[in-house]
Amino acid sequence: MLTEQIYQKRFAARIAIFTAVGLAIFKFTIGFFTGSLAVIGSGLDSLLDSAASLINFLAIKKADAAPTTIYRYGFGKIEGLAGLVQGLVIASSGISLFYFSIQKIRFGVKLQALEIGVLTMFTSAIISFFLVRFLKNVAKKTNSLALEADSAHYATDIWANVGILISLIIIHFSGFVLLDPLISLFIAGYIVFAAIQILQKSIAILLDRELDETTRKKIIKIIKSFQGFKKMEGYHALRTRQSGSKLVIEIHLVFAEDATLLEAHAASDEVMRKIKKAFTNTDVTIHLDPYDDSHDPDNPTLY
């Protein structure tokens, strides 16, 4: 049975695919009709966006699958892998646009029906704006890395569309047709820059980077609120990471030497419940210590 979060993620991913395909067809048609390389390049970007969104949809679907006897930690990291693929796809579109822009500058530019091109890019920018808002909202609610990456690269589309829109307006009034491939060069650079950011984040997630400092501080505050409860004296070895939409948290709780196992277990259960209440879709592992062994040279990972 699908949970509300899983349903929202999959629905958002489908919307992204259909929107990108629709925009690609729309831009290609107008681009070939007007002869604008910038519009055609934007259509290429939208086509690759649809491929990236399809990869995201498949990743989101797999990431929510139940753990198996072989993959006991589940498939959450596949969202990070999807982000990596998505970044490479987006980078390739930027490099392709750069190449065709150089070719257009070398062999000349011919544009026609600029008014239609202006209307096309204005419409595309508006559609992309609402799509980005929708994806960001769902990504925030569901903590989905794949949707966050999707919203990031569609955000670059907004600026690309606005850039092309401005260039077509200037060309219409000035006749400076060379501006079209020059603007597309700028857009190509921006696309590659956005791709690098997505790649950096995806790699960091695959390498189990710690959660952001704000989240860690909130976790620490919850742990410290139980200090003195059931003879709990402190904590150490807090390690955090993200696997798909799930936050993974590991902690060592330190108890007084005379604390009973029952007391320590009850305290750790309370800590776990409060953390899970503060953060949805969280996997918490707690280790019980009878003393603080964070400075033990045989355990260098403890801190």
Please report, to the nearest 10 degrees, the dihedral formed by the alpha carbons of residues 124, 128, 129, 130 taken in order: 110
User: Would you say residue 298 lies in a domain?
Assistant: no
In DSSP notation, 133-181 reads HHHHHHHHHHT-HHHHHHHHHHHHHHHHHHHHHHHHHHHHHH--TTHHH
Q: What are the pLDDT digits (tens) for 225-276? A: 999 888 999 999 899 998 877 889 999 999 998 999 999 999 999 999 999 9
CA 298/CA 95 separation, integer angstroms: 49
Q: Are residues 174 and 27 in the same domain?
A: yes
User: Would you say residue 297 lies in a domain?
Assistant: no
| Residue 33 CA to its chain's centroid (Å) | 35
**Are 9 and 147 contacting, i.e. CB atoms less than 8 angstroms apart?**
yes
Last residue of a domain, one of 162, 179, 206: 206
Specify the CATH number for the domain of residue 261. Answer: 3.30.70.1350
Q: Are residues 124 and 176 in the same domain?
A: yes
Q: Which domain holds residue 250?
A: 213-289
Provide the CB-side half-sphere exposure for 176 (13 A, CA): 9
Q: Are residues 84 and 108 in the same domain?
A: yes
Q: How many domains does the chain have?
A: 2
Q: Are residues 132 and 13 in the same domain?
A: yes
For residue 16, give the nearest of 179, 187, 139, 132 by alpha carbon. 132
User: Would you say residue 294 lies in a domain?
Assistant: no
CA 158/CA 149 separation, integer angstroms: 15
User: Would you say residue 53 lies in a domain?
Assistant: yes
Task: From residue 32, give the alpha-carbon distance in Å to each of 44, 113, 253.
Answer: 12, 11, 65
**Are 154 and 131 contacting, i.e. CB atoms less than 8 angstroms apart?**
yes
Q: Pairing state of beta strands 282-289 and 246-255?
A: parallel
Q: Are residues 161 and 40 in the same domain?
A: yes
Q: Are residues 11 and 135 in the same domain?
A: yes
With a cut of 70, list the residues of the chain below it in pLDDT. Answer: 1-2, 36-38, 107-115, 117, 296-303
**Are 192 and 94 contacting, i.e. CB atoms less than 8 angstroms apart?**
yes
pLDDT reported for residue 59: 84
**Are 284 and 272 contacting, i.e. CB atoms less than 8 angstroms apart?**
yes
Last residue of a domain, one of 206, 225, 245: 206
Q: Are residues 106 and 249 in the same domain?
A: no
CA 106/CA 101 separation, integer angstroms: 9
Q: Are residues 247 and 230 in the same domain?
A: yes
Residue type, 167: S
Tell me the residue ranges of DSSP E strands in the chain: 232-243, 246-255, 282-289
Last residue of a domain, one of 190, 206, 222: 206
User: Would you say residue 300 lies in a domain?
Assistant: no
Q: Which residues of 76-87 are buried (b: 16+ CB within 10 A; e: fewer)?
A: bbbbbbbbbbbb
Q: Are residues 111 and 257 in the same domain?
A: no
Q: Are residues 131 and 261 in the same domain?
A: no
Q: Are residues 53 and 11 in the same domain?
A: yes
Specify the CATH number for the domain of residue 143. Answer: 1.20.1510.10
Q: Are residues 125 and 235 in the same domain?
A: no
User: Would you say residue 226 lies in a domain?
Assistant: yes
Count of CB atoms situated within 10 Å of the CB of 130:
10
Which residues, in sequence order, are CB contacts of 147 under 8 Å at separation 6+?
A: 9, 12, 13, 16, 56, 60, 135, 138, 139
Return the structure tokens found at 44: 């290429």
User: Would you say residue 302 lies in a domain?
Assistant: no
pLDDT reported for residue 57: 85
Return the structure tokens found at 296: 């033990």
Helix axes 37-63, 78-107, angle to 10 degrees: 170
User: Would you say residue 142 lies in a domain?
Assistant: yes
For residue 17, give the nearest of 59, 64, 51 by alpha carbon. 51
